[in-house]
A and B are shown apart, each in its own frame.
Chain A
C-alpha cells in the first residue's frame, strides 16, 4: 500500500451529514443515525417499563419495584419463586417472540415492497401452526414443535412465492395467494383438531389463536438462540434490502446480488417466524405493527431491523399483559388482543386513499 503514488488527498470532512452523529474512536469512526439510536433507547425504556408492569401484575399483585427486585433474586422467597418461575418465563417468551416476529415482518415487507406482506398475512404463520399442531397431535416430544414449525413455515412460504410467481412486481397478487395458502393450512389445522380426542385438542387449541400460555420451555430456548444468530444476519441483509427498495435494475447496478439476497431474506424470515410461532402460535399482526412503529419512530427510509425487534418485543408483552389483566381471571389469548387492536389498523392502512404503500 505504501508504494502507491500519492493520491489526491481526501476532502476533510469535519461535519457529519444532517441527522447523523459522527462517533470517533481514535482511527475508527462510525456514522450514527441520530433518530435511529434515540428511538432505540426510547423503545428499550418502553420495553423495561412494560416488563416491570407485566412482572408486577397478576393474581398476587406486587409493586413494580418488588417485582423487578424479585426477578434478580432479591426479596421474599415466595415473590422470587412467583416472578422467576412463572412470570419471568412468560415475559421472556413474549419478548423473544415479539422481537422475532417484528424482524421477520420488517424483512418480508421490504422484500415484497408491500407493508401488508407480513408472515401472518401470507400464510407462513398458518403453515407453521399446522405443522406444530401435527407434531403435538402425533409425536408429543418437546423439540418437535419447533422443528416441524420450520418445515411448515418453509412449505407455506414456498407455496405462496411459487404459486404467485415471486413477490416484487406482482404486488397484491402475492398476498392473496398467501391468504389462500393460509386458508388451506388453517383448514388443515382444523382437520387435525377435529380428528383428535378432546384432550389433545384442548392442548392444541392455543395454537389456533395464539397464546403465550402454552409456551414450551425448549422452544423458547431454541427461539433465543435463533434470534441471537438471526439478528446480525438481518442487520446485514438490511443494508442490501435498503437498496432493493429501488427497482431491480437500479439495485443490480448498485451491486446487490438480487437473487441471493432475496433467497436469504426469505429463508431468514421463515426461520424467525417458525421459531416464534412454535412458541406462541399465530400472532401475525405483531409482524405488521412492529416495523410500522419502528419506521414511524426512526423516520428515515432504511430498514430498521433492531428497532423493529424492540418494538415487536414491547408490543407483544404489552398485548399479553392487557390480555391477562383486562378480564382477569379469564385470560384473553394474546392473538385475540392483537387481532382486535390490529384489525382496525390494518383496515386503515388499506383504506387510506392516497397512501404510499411501499415501506
Chain B
C-alpha cells in the first residue's frame, strides 16, 4: 500500500477480495436465519422450488431484506466517504454527526403530526437529513471547531442525544403510534415491507448519480482549499453539493431502515486501509464494502439472540466503536 509502484495491483486485489466478500455476504444473508430452516435447506430452495416453505422464506423474506441491506449499505458507505472528504475529517459519520438523527426525528415528528404514507416519509427523512447536514456545515464554518475533527463529533453527539430525547417525548405522549414509531428510533432491517427495497432504490441511485460530478472536486479539496481553488474548483460549492448528496443518501437509507450508526465510519476506514486515501478509489470500493458490512452485521444480528433478533445498530456499534477509538488514538489524526 505504501509503495506506489504496486498500487494498481493492490487496488485490483482489493476489488477481488471485496467482490468475493459481497458474494459471500449475500449468500450468508440468504441462507442463515433465526428460524428453523437450515442453511442446507435454504440452499436447496434457491435452486429448486420443491420445498415451498423454505423457498417462501428465502425468496419472500430474506431476499428483499438482503436487497434492502445492500441498498442501505451502499448509501451509508458512500455517504460516509463523501462526508469525510467534504468535512476533511476522518471521524465524520452520518450517524455520529446527527444526520441520521435529523432524518429519523423528522419522520417521528411527521408521523405524530398525522402523516402515515410511506412515500411521504422518504421526503421527510431527506429533509431532516438535509437539516442535519447543514448543522454540520454550520459547525465546520465556525472558527476553531471546523479544524478540530474531534469537537465536531461532540456537537453531533449532543445534537443526536437531544433529538433522541425529544423523539422519546413524542413517543411517550402518543402511545397510539408508539409501536409504529419505535422503529425510527432504533433502526433495523427486519420487518420492513417487501417494497421498501424497491422504493428506496431511486433515492440511492439519485444520490450516487449526483455524486459522480463531485468526485474530482472532492479529490482536489483534499489538497487544501487554496489548491482546489487554484485548480479551478469552488470549495464552498463542492461542499454544499456534497452535503446535499449525503442528505439524499442518508435520508433514503434512514427512511428504509431507520438510523444505523457507525457504518459510515467503518466503510471509509476500511476502504482507506485497502487502497489509500484517494477518494477516486475509496468511493467506488465503498459501494462494495458498505453492503458487506451491513449484510454480515445483519446476519450476525439474527444469530446472536435466536429466536429473537438484535437491532442491527448494536452489531455495527460493536464493530464501529473500536474503529472510532483506533482513529482517535492514531498518532496524528490524518487530515483528509
Contacts and interface: CB of A to CB of B under 8 A. Distances in A.
Given A172-B151, A176-B324, A347-B155, A340 B165 contact: yes
A209 B150 contact: no
Interface string A169-186: 001110111011101101
A172 B321 contact: no
B157 interface: yes
Contact of A194 (B163, B164, B165, B310): B310
Interface stretch (B36-44, B167-175, B281-289): B167-175
A327 interface: yes
A4 interface: no
Contacts of A347: 155, 158-159, 162
A201 B206 CA distance: 41
B329 A163 contact: yes
B323 to A, nearest CB: 8
B142 interface: yes
Contact of B168 (A191, A209, A353): A209
B328 interface: yes
Interface in B87-135: 91
B277 interface: no
B193 interface: no
A176 B154 contact: yes
A21 interface: no
Among A183, A190, A327, residue most surrounded by chain B Cβ atoms (within 10 Å): A183
Interface in B143-160: 143-145, 148, 150-151, 153-155, 157-159
Given A183-B320, A187-B317, A353-B142, A175 B150 contact: yes
Given A191-B314, A353-B143, A172 B169 contact: no
Contacts of A116: 154
B329 A177 contact: yes
A343 B322 CA distance: 25
Contact of B164 (A330, A339, A344): A339
Interface string A133-154: 0000000000000000000000
Nearest to A192: B305
B190 to A, nearest CB: 12
Contacts of A340: 162, 165-166, 169
B311 interface: yes
Given A186-B317, A340-B169, A344-B162, A179 B157 contact: yes
Interface string B291-331: 00000000000001100111101110110111011001100
B318 A343 contact: no
Contacts of A186: 317
Contacts of A53: none
Contacts of B314: 187, 190-191, 194
Contact of B144 (A179, A183, A343, A353): A353
B169 A176 contact: no
Interface residues of A, number: 39
A184 B159 CA distance: 19
A1 interface: no
Given A183-B321, A343-B162, A350 B155 contact: yes
A327 B324 contact: no
Contacts of A183: 261-262, 317, 320-321, 324
A278 interface: no
Contacts of A346: 158, 162
Contacts of B155: 347, 350-351
B139 to A, nearest CB: 7
A314 B314 CA distance: 35
Contacts of B324: 176-177, 179-180, 183
A163 B329 CA distance: 7
Nearest to A172: B150
A184 B317 contact: yes
Nearest first, the 7 closest Cβ-Cβ pairs linking A and B are: A343-B162, A339-B165, A187-B317, A172-B150, A180-B324, A346-B158, A180-B321
12 contacts: A172-B151, A173-B150, A173-B329, A183-B320, A190-B310, A191-B310, A336-B165, A336-B172, A339-B161, A343-B165, A351-B142, A351-B155
